[in-house]
A and B are shown apart, each in its own frame.
Chain A
Amino acid sequence: MPEMNLLEAIRAGIDEMMAADERVYIIGEDVGKRGGVFRVTEGLVDKYGEMRVIDSPLAESIIVGSSIGAAMYGMRPIAEIQFADFIFPAFNQIVSEAARIRYRSNGAWDVPMVIRAPFGGGIHGALYHSQSVEAFFAHVPGLKVVVPSTPYDAKGLIKASIEDPDPVLFFEHKKLYRLIKGQVPEEDYRVPIGVADVKREGSDMTVLSYGLTLHQSLEAAEQLSAEGVEVEVVDLRTLRPLDKETILNSVRKTGKVLIAYEDNRFLGYGAELAAIISEEVFEHLDGPIMRVAGADVPAMPFSPPLEEAFMPSTEKIAAAMRELAGY
């Protein structure tokens, strides 16, 4: 079984889907010869040609809007937004169009498409190359939101997303692209959308996370283990639809919850998790639902000390775990 990093796994998944189904195509900025600014689509234009790996004009609304039209025609577009920070020019197309087309046509039309976007900070990308945008989209019924955090999951999830009959936002943490390596089977497999995964078992508290903070949480859990606290780490993998069962079962077992995410804390994804947990398993809680999240400033600054101050980290998460363990 080959070892791959996250971006190679995503590429392998896309490549296999394009080979198997000629309705699948890629459209985005610099996705052709350059292979995308992060090189996720590297080599695909040579294999599939310029009409299946399409260098779009520099205009996000048409990247998404044309993909919606093509999907309604019967194609399976993969729209790449170069950085999640630049998805907002396409916000109307995603929220007013892609998300609502099935609903507003009473099921007559559908939009089977994937919108891929690298997100997240810690790469000196400053305000406009570091953002986490998942909460804007996870809020919207009609959209699915997927965030893979390991190479195995990334390949299985991108394939499931391409096959999915509804619009899927596929957010890839850009710091994980080359950081995280893992075994990825060559054979055909899927990781289903809407199923979370317990990445580390433990009995003393539950950590819910996705993206870079998932890996920070796993590291922090090792530190706590040395201190005699066993932390269960749940990788959400899909933010919408949410796998409530896995989450609630873990909370029932541990009685304590820490949510770690990189987006701004206020009304971020953790807020909804906290609400669901307190509504549904309140009687199992032995402490406050805690959050470690990005700072409530408009976006991530550039200079290293400011960037570090914004970002969650293994240390910040470990500190929160210790605090929660004290209850």
Chain B
Amino acid sequence: MQLERDDLLKMYRLMLLARLLDERTWQLNRQGKAPFVISCQGHEAAQVGAAYALKPGKDWVVPYYRDLAVMLTIGFTPLDHMLGLLGRADDPNSGGRQMPSHYSHRKLNIVTHSSPTGSQVPHASGIGLAIKMRGDDAVVWTSFGEGTSSQGDVHEAMNLAGVYNLPVIFFCENNGYAISVPQKKQMGIENVADRAAGYGFPGVVVDGTDVIQVYEATAAAVERARRGEGPTLIEAKCLRLTAHSSDDNERTYRSPDELKAIRSQDPITRFTDYLMVEGILDEASQKRIREEVMAQINEATVMAERAPLPDPATLERHVYAEHEA
């Protein structure tokens, strides 16, 4: 699909929504209202570009904790995110059971994931296997960080997908760090995507700050998978613009120079500039979109803060299937 002007504006709005919503979660954290925040800042272009190439509700999404912008693109609302952040009963991910940003939304085919890094990736290959066995038209997309690419589960999942040519898109969001550990201590190669050759399918490196480039690479991988030609590994080189999480202090391992330098590559600024130059966005429309997005976020914040907490009497529910009375 060729991206139209409307698509670009939608993508811009999604990126901005993800960024401003993410910033709001940090404010709530500093106010003592949100005990834990993990951020998508710096990954917005990669995430919106990738998720925009999927068909929500038809394709399957097996994300990881950094994927707020993926979630919003597939159909999650700011309120959905806020309910999870504040551990509310109506949190669609888990009813307040999981840490924030451990996503799930059954109706949107967004599969629940856990905290042990990489353990979601085999599920994607299993979903790919099921799609193939059933002869369905869907594809499955899964994501993980470059640090997580060291996990055996990621290897095992890609290997199975290679053997059975499964319709899986493996999406590595490489931000150069696994908490404090830099990529050079994580692997002896420069590109995670190079590993795809070892599994017998293509590996592609894209600039994760360029939403259009990521979209095009993902759309090509999705088409390939739909045609039955098998998996693709896409590696998006991203920036982590925040600490790993609200429990981390990145100044203990990132230099002031580095922290300054990454600011100048902010994917949102980059896309805004592009849209301005192309005449798709101007000062007035930019301001209007920002106000609309902020209004949405303010409303979601108020509603989530008012929403009820889970009833402790529900602690023992859903351990096993519950039979209807």
Interface residues of A (CB under 8 A from B): 25, 51-52, 54, 56-57, 59, 61-62, 64-75, 77, 89, 92-93, 96-97, 100-110, 141-142, 144, 165-166, 241
Which residue from chain B places its CB closest to the CB of A166 in the assembled complex?
B320
Known A96-B116, A100-B114, A109-B106; further 9 A-B contacts with Cβ < 8 A: A57-B156, A62-B160, A65-B119, A69-B128, A72-B127, A105-B106, A106-B91, A110-B321, A141-B319
Q: In whole Å, how far is A114's beta carbon from the nearest beta carbon of chain B?
A: 14
Chain A residue numbers with a CB within 8 Å of B123 are 65-66, 68-69, 72, 97
Chain B residue numbers with a CB within 8 Å of A100 are 114
Which of B104, B106, B153, B321 is within 8 Å of A65, CB to CB?
A: B153
Chain B residue numbers with a CB within 8 Å of A107 are 317-318, 322
Q: List 24 A-B contacts (CB under 8 A).
A: A61-B122, A61-B153, A65-B125, A65-B156, A66-B157, A69-B122, A69-B124, A69-B126, A69-B127, A69-B129, A70-B129, A72-B127, A75-B133, A96-B114, A96-B116, A97-B119, A103-B318, A104-B97, A104-B104, A104-B114, A107-B317, A107-B318, A108-B106, A109-B104
0/1 interface trace, chain B 89-127, chain A, CB 8 Å (1 if under): 001111101100010101000011011100101111111
Chain A residue numbers with a CB within 8 Å of B131 are 73
Judged by a CB distance under 8 angstroms, whether B171 is at the interface is no
Alpha-carbon separation in the docked complex, A25 to B121 (Å) = 21
Which of A51, A59, A71, A102 is within 8 Å of B320, CB to CB?
A: A102
Task: Name the 6 nearest CB pairs between A and B, nearest first.
Answer: A65-B122, A69-B126, A106-B95, A66-B126, A69-B123, A62-B156
Which residue from chain A places its CB closest to the CB of B153 in the assembled complex?
A61
Number of A-B contacts (CB under 8 A): 141
Chain B residue numbers with a CB within 8 Å of A93 are 119, 122, 153
Chain B residue numbers with a CB within 8 Å of A165 are 320-321
Q: In whole Å, how far is A129's beta carbon from the nearest beta carbon of chain B?
A: 23
Which residue from chain A places its CB closest to the CB of B98 in the assembled complex?
A104
Alpha-carbon separation in the docked complex, A96 to B67 (Å) = 21
Tell whether, in the assembled complex, residue A52 and residue B133 are in contact, meaning their CB atoms are under 8 Å apart. yes
Please indicate which of the listed interface residues A74, A104, A106 has the most CB atoms of chain B within 10 Å of its own CB: A106
Chain A residue numbers with a CB within 8 Å of B133 are 25, 51-52, 70, 75
Tell whether, in the assembled complex, residue B116 and residue A102 are in contact, meaning their CB atoms are under 8 Å apart. no
Q: In whole Å, how far is B47's beta carbon from the nearest beta carbon of chain A?
A: 21
Chain B residue numbers with a CB within 8 Å of A110 are 321
Q: In whole Å, how far is B116's beta carbon from the nearest beta carbon of chain A?
A: 5
Tell whether, in the assembled complex, residue B112 and residue A104 are in contact, meaning their CB atoms are under 8 Å apart. yes
Q: In whole Å, how far is B119's beta carbon from the nearest beta carbon of chain A?
A: 6
Which residue from chain A places its CB closest to the CB of B107 in the assembled complex?
A108
Judged by a CB distance under 8 angstroms, whether B152 is at the interface is yes
Chain A residue numbers with a CB within 8 Å of B106 are 105, 108-109
Alpha-carbon separation in the docked complex, A57 to B159 (Å) = 8
0/1 interface trace, chain B 289-325, chain A, CB 8 Å (1 if under): 0000000000000000000000000000111111000
Which of A56, A73, A96 is within 8 Å of B60, CB to CB?
A: A73
Judged by a CB distance under 8 angstroms, whether B130 is at the interface is yes
Judged by a CB distance under 8 angstroms, whether B280 is at the interface is no
Which of A77, A105, A142 is within 8 Å of B104, CB to CB?
A: A105
Tell whether, in the assembled complex, residue A109 and residue B111 are in contact, meaning their CB atoms are under 8 Å apart. yes
Judged by a CB distance under 8 angstroms, whether B163 is at the interface is yes
**With A69-B127, A109-B106 in contact, is A62–B122 under 8 Å at CB?**
yes
0/1 interface trace, chain B 36-73, chain A, CB 8 Å (1 if under): 00000000000000000000000010100000000000
Alpha-carbon separation in the docked complex, A67 to B127 (Å) = 8
Q: In whole Å, how far is A302's beta carbon from the nearest beta carbon of chain B?
A: 29
Q: In whole Å, how far is A59's beta carbon from the nearest beta carbon of chain B?
A: 4
Alpha-carbon separation in the docked complex, A64 to B152 (Å) = 13
**With A57-B160, A73-B127 in contact, is A108–B122 under 8 Å at CB?**
no
Chain A residue numbers with a CB within 8 Å of B320 are 102, 142, 144, 165-166, 241
Which of A59, A70, A89 is within 8 Å of B127, CB to CB?
A: A70
Tell whether, in the assembled complex, residue A68 and residue B156 are in contact, meaning their CB atoms are under 8 Å apart. no
Tell whether, in the assembled complex, residue B97 and residue A61 are in contact, meaning their CB atoms are under 8 Å apart. no
Alpha-carbon separation in the docked complex, A174 to B119 (Å) = 30
Tell whether, in the assembled complex, residue A108 and residue B111 are in contact, meaning their CB atoms are under 8 Å apart. no
Which residue from chain B places its CB closest to the CB of A73 in the assembled complex?
B130
Alpha-carbon separation in the docked complex, A43 to B128 (Å) = 26
Which of A59, A70, A92 is within 8 Å of B130, CB to CB?
A: A70
Tell whether, in the assembled complex, residue A106 and residue B122 are in contact, meaning their CB atoms are under 8 Å apart. no
**With A97-B123, A103-B318 in contact, is A72–B153 under 8 Å at CB?**
no
**With A62-B122, A92-B116, A93-B122 in contact, is A102–B319 under 8 Å at CB?**
yes
Q: In whole Å, how far is A173's beta carbon from the nearest beta carbon of chain B?
A: 25
Alpha-carbon separation in the docked complex, A141 to B319 (Å) = 7
Alpha-carbon separation in the docked complex, A142 to B319 (Å) = 5
Chain B residue numbers with a CB within 8 Å of A104 are 94, 97-98, 102, 104, 112, 114
Chain B residue numbers with a CB within 8 Å of A77 are 126
**With A65-B119, A93-B119 in contact, is A101–B112 under 8 Å at CB?**
yes
Alpha-carbon separation in the docked complex, A302 to B126 (Å) = 37
Alpha-carbon separation in the docked complex, A66 to B128 (Å) = 9
Chain A residue numbers with a CB within 8 Å of B94 are 104-106
Alpha-carbon separation in the docked complex, A91 to B52 (Å) = 35
Q: In whole Å, how far is A68's beta carbon from the nearest beta carbon of chain B?
A: 5
Q: In whole Å, how far is B22's beta carbon from the nearest beta carbon of chain A?
A: 23
Which residue from chain B places its CB closest to the CB of A100 in the assembled complex?
B114
**With A65-B123, A102-B318, A142-B320 in contact, is A59–B156 under 8 Å at CB?**
yes
Q: In whole Å, how far is A89's beta carbon from the nearest beta carbon of chain B?
A: 8
Tell whether, in the assembled complex, residue A108 and residue B321 are in contact, meaning their CB atoms are under 8 Å apart. no
Alpha-carbon separation in the docked complex, A270 to B117 (Å) = 35
Q: In whole Å, how far is B57's beta carbon from the nearest beta carbon of chain A?
A: 14
Alpha-carbon separation in the docked complex, A107 to B112 (Å) = 11
Alpha-carbon separation in the docked complex, A64 to B153 (Å) = 11
